[in-house]
Amino acid sequence: MSKMKFRYNGAPAASLIADDLERKMAWYRQRGHEVPLHKLIKTPEQIEGIRLSGVVNTGVLDLVEAAVRPGMTTAEIDRMVYDYTVSHGAVPAPLNYEGFPKSVCISINEVVCHGIPSENVILKEGDIVNVDVSTILDGFYSDASRMFLIGEVSDEKRRLVEVTRECLRIGAEAARPFGFVGDIGAAIQRHAEKNGYSVVRDLCGHGVGLEFHEEPEVAHFGHRGTGMLLVPGLVFTIEPMINMGDWRVTVDEVDGWTVRTRDGLPSAQWEHTFVMTENGLKVLSH
Ligand code: MF3
Ligand code: CO
């Protein structure tokens, strides 16, 4: 080994680390694994930009969490999200995204995701509500969602919300550097089904950061050891949608967005944005 490649303190130079990563990725590619393209592996500068976007995004969710109450319309929440985001120099990513008309997705009870805020939708006692916030700051995207319980909620719905939160945590814990995306989905599916619930198949987590939705697709079901190699520098969401009944969903034919459970039973979702590091996942927005 050439002495020139080492710094005085014995740490390998950046070029050597890059060579090492290249060799490692080639090894996996040769064995038939899906390996991320270079553009998906974020630089430290890009990760810092996404982290700062995530700080605003998390701030929006904290603001909503402090404000939600029975009697509030989802349009009021939409206005809070818009105002907070722009006053922090950022842009709500959903607004005008592929024609989405509002700044945030708000999904109540049997609505799985992509609910459109409206003056006509009023939060009521007993509802479980997902608020899904995505932010663009200086061109960097972040994405996270939380569930809120409105007033007194039945034990049945409360348990769905709790188990879904556990699914996100358990999925994140299953993600190891140089593991696979499928490790995440397998862990989530196991936990959901063990609790008598089903995992939505038609919608997934996703790479995020330079665009709203990038590769890889992060399914919340499937098999360990499959899917893209989890290379440090990958930034992606995990956002399990867990149904009390059947996993099948429908899309509203009129608005083209609102996703509902086919059987009308409740659904819950939690989402964080993560970066894979040499030591495992780190949260960038929650
Ligand atoms: N925030 C959603 C996600 O988690 C995407 C919503 S797309 C929108 O990926 F257009 F509905 F905002
Ligand atoms: Co997302």
Integer angstrom CA distances of residue 54 from 104, 144, 164, 167, 278: 15, 8, 22, 21, 20
Q: What residue segments make up the domains of the chain, in order of their start?
A: 13-285
Which atom of ligand 1 lies at the shortest distance from residue 212's CA? 9
Which of 97, 102, 104, 105 most suits a substitution to test ligand 1, by most atoms within 8 Å of the C-beta? 105
pLDDT at 6: 53
- Distant-in-sequence, close-in-space partners of 249: CB < 8 Å, separation ≥ 6: 112, 200, 202, 203, 259, 260, 261, 262
| Tens digit of each residue's pLDDT (9 = 90 or more) over 200-256 | 999 999 999 999 999 999 999 999 999 999 999 999 999 999 999 999 999 999 999
CA 133 to centroid of ligand 2, rounded, Å:
9
Residues with CB under 6 A from ligand 1: 94, 97-98, 100, 105, 114, 132, 134, 143, 239, 271
Per residue in 3-52, pLDDT (tens digit) is 455 555 666 777 778 889 999 999 999 999 999 999 999 999 999 999 99
Specify whether domain 13-285 bears CATH 3.90.230.10. Answer: yes
- Which pLDDT value is given to residue 163? 99
Helix ranges, 72-174 (H): 74-87, 155-174
Q: How far apart are CA 216 and CA 237, in angstroms?
A: 10
- Check residue 39 and report its DSSP letter: G
Give the model confidence (pLDDT) of 114-131 as tens digits.
999 999 999 999 999 999
pLDDT of residue 14: 76
Those residues with Cβ within 8 angstroms of residue 9's Cβ, 6 or more apart along the chain or in another chain: none
Task: Please write the tens of the pLDDT for every residue from 144-155.
Answer: 999 999 999 999
Helix (H) or strand (E) holding 262: none
- What is the number of the ligand 1 atom nearest to the C-alpha of 134? 1
Tell if the pTM clears 0.85, that is, is over it.
Answer: yes
